[in-house]
């Protein structure tokens, strides 16, 4: 079975590619376990470390004909991760609309036209929530975003739900918590500091935290999120029903608690300097930090246990300790 990951040279996509290579199988559109015979990664950037066994298509998916090259008649599954992240989508509305919404629509249209009905996993975000938040978000809380990124994700969610109802694709939308700890350089997500305040001090470097220590966050580890993408893919369509969207489990953690965990892991919290940034603070503080993810639990999605486990996973997976 041919499997495609858009945005597969990015943080989560490259990790997903690695895990799929090791796993070697997924459920096919009929629900049977099928060997992955071709793993295609499509991204505008070349991978930092190409994985043997992956076919890379490097190029802008917004270019004419590129979607047709990526989705062909043999494609059974698509993990659509390509995106313009939160702060960048806020700063560049046009680009955010084109990548976060138009590209999603183009992929669905292509699947419809060639009649392949792939399993279509889409990475949405807790940024779909924003206005009038209750103390705890539930599976029934309305998505009323307070950012262009959240709005574009929410629009894509509804389209995927409808395209699944129409039988064009077999969609599965997972709303990700903020994923930490992200390795490498910071990206243009408003939440980039969430990883930075752990990653940088663990490497002995100074970093800036743009929100106050009492700020609460809803986070998950890359290990758990990648396992969730695969779980979302493999669930039978009947388990999803007409509601193709799920809030993924996470943990609620304060910035100050993250710094305590950093210390326990051998890092120096004094390397984190607090310097408030009103733009970042406004975006990040509009996101929920407490969620009751009953549906995800019923559907069997995995979850992290605490911040120490998340820091430990980073040290093991990325610092090789």
Ligand X SMILES: NC(=O)c1ccc[n+]([C@@H]2O[C@H](COP(=O)([O-])OP(=O)(O)OC[C@H]3O[C@@H](n4cnc5c(N)ncnc54)[C@H](O)[C@@H]3O)[C@@H](O)[C@H]2O)c1
Binding residue (CB under 6 A) for ligand X from 20, 61, 78, 246:
61
The CA distance from 240 to 261, in Å, is 36
Q: Where are the alpha helices (DSSP H) in 235-299?
A: 237-240, 255-264, 278-284, 294-298
Binding residue (CB under 6 A) for ligand X from 87, 179, 181, 251:
179
DSSP 291: B
318 is catalytic: no
- Closest residue to ligand X, judged by C-beta, is 10
Residue 30 beta carbon to ligand X: minimum distance, rounded to whole angstroms: 27
| Binding segment (CB under 6 A) for ligand X, from list 67-75, 173-181, 203-211, 255-263 | 173-181
Residue 235 beta carbon to ligand X: minimum distance, rounded to whole angstroms: 19
Task: Copy the structure tokens of residue 34.
Answer: 């099928």
Residue 36 beta carbon to ligand X: minimum distance, rounded to whole angstroms: 20
Instruction: Rule CB under 6 A: say whether 10 interacts with ligand X.
Output: yes
Q: What are phi and psi of 214, to 5 degrees?
A: -80, 0
Binding residue (CB under 6 A) for ligand X from 99, 159, 198, 262:
99
DSSP 127: G
Binding residue (CB under 6 A) for ligand X from 92, 141, 187, 207:
187
Instruction: Rule CB under 6 A: say whether 108 interacts with ligand X.
Output: no
| Binding segment (CB under 6 A) for ligand X, from list 83-91, 160-168, 272-280, 304-312 | 83-91
Residue 270 beta carbon to ligand X: minimum distance, rounded to whole angstroms: 26
Instruction: Rule CB under 6 A: say whether 11 interacts with ligand X.
Output: yes
Instruction: Rule CB under 6 A: say whether 90 interacts with ligand X.
Output: no
If the CB atoms of residues 193 and 240 are measured against ligand X, the closer one turns out to be: 193
Crossing angle for the helix pair 307-318 and 222-234, to the nearest 10 degrees: 90
Q: 105: exposed, middle or buried (C-beta count within 10 Å: 0-12, 13-18, 19+)?
A: middle
Cα 31 to Cα 76, 237, 254, 265, 297: the distances in Å are: 11, 8, 40, 42, 21
The CA distance from 179 to 195, in Å, is 8
Tokens 């090789």: give the residue: 320
Single out the residue of 207, 188, 182, 199 nearest to residue 267, CA to CA.
Answer: 199
Instruction: Rule CB under 6 A: say whether 125 interacts with ligand X.
Output: yes
Binding residue (CB under 6 A) for ligand X from 41, 54, 71, 82:
82
The CA distance from 74 to 160, in Å, is 21
Instruction: Rule CB under 6 A: say whether 7 interacts with ligand X.
Output: yes
| Binding segment (CB under 6 A) for ligand X, from list 23-31, 38-46, 202-210, 271-279 | 38-46
Q: 25: exposed, middle or buried (C-beta count within 10 Å: 0-12, 13-18, 19+)?
A: middle
Binding residue (CB under 6 A) for ligand X from 154, 176, 259, 280:
176
Instruction: Rule CB under 6 A: say whether 229 interacts with ligand X.
Output: no
Residues annotated as catalytic are 149
Binding site for ligand X (CB under 6 A): 7, 9-13, 43-45, 60-62, 81-85, 99, 123, 125, 176, 178-179, 187, 191
């Amino acid at each position: 079975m041919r499997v495609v990951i858009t945005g597969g040279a990015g943080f989560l996509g490259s990790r997903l590619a690695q895990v799929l290579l090791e796993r070697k199988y997924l459920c096919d559109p009929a629900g049977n376990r099928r060997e992955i015979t071709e793993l295609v990664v499509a991204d505008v950037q070349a991978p930092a470390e190409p994985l043997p066994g992956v076919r890379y298509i490097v190029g802008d998916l917004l270019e004419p004909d590129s979607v047709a090259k990526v989705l062909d008649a043999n494609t059974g599954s698509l993990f659509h991760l390509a995106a313009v992240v939160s702060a960048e989508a806020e700063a560049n509305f046009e680009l955010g609309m084109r990548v976060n919404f138009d590209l999603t629509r183009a992929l669905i249209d292509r699947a419809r036209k060639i009649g392949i009905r792939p399993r279509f996993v889409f990475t949405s975000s807790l940024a779909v929530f924003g206005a009038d938040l209750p103390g705890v978000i539930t599976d029934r809380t309305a998505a009323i975003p307070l950012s262009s990124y959240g709005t574009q994700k929410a629009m894509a969610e509804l389209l995927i739900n409808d395209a699944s109802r129409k039988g064009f694709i077999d969609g599965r939308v997972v709303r990700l918590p903020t994923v930490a700890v992200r390795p490498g350089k910071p990206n243009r997500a408003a939440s980039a500091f969430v990883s930075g305040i752990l990653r940088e001090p663990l490497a002995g470097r100074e970093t800036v935290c743009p929100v106050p220590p009492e700020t609460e966050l809803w986070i998950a580890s890359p290990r758990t999120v990648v396992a969730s993408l695969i779980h979302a893919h493999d669930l039978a369509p009947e388990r999803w029903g007409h509601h193709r969207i799920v809030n993924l489990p996470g943990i609620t953690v304060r910035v100050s608690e993250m710094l305590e965990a950093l210390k326990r892991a051998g890092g120096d919290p004094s390397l984190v300097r607090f310097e408030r940034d009103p733009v970042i603070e406004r975006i990040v503080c509009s996101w929920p930090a407490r969620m009751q993810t009953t549906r995800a639990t019923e559907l069997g999605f995995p979850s992290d246990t605490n911040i120490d486990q998340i820091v430990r996973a980073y040290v093991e997976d990325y610092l090789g300790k």
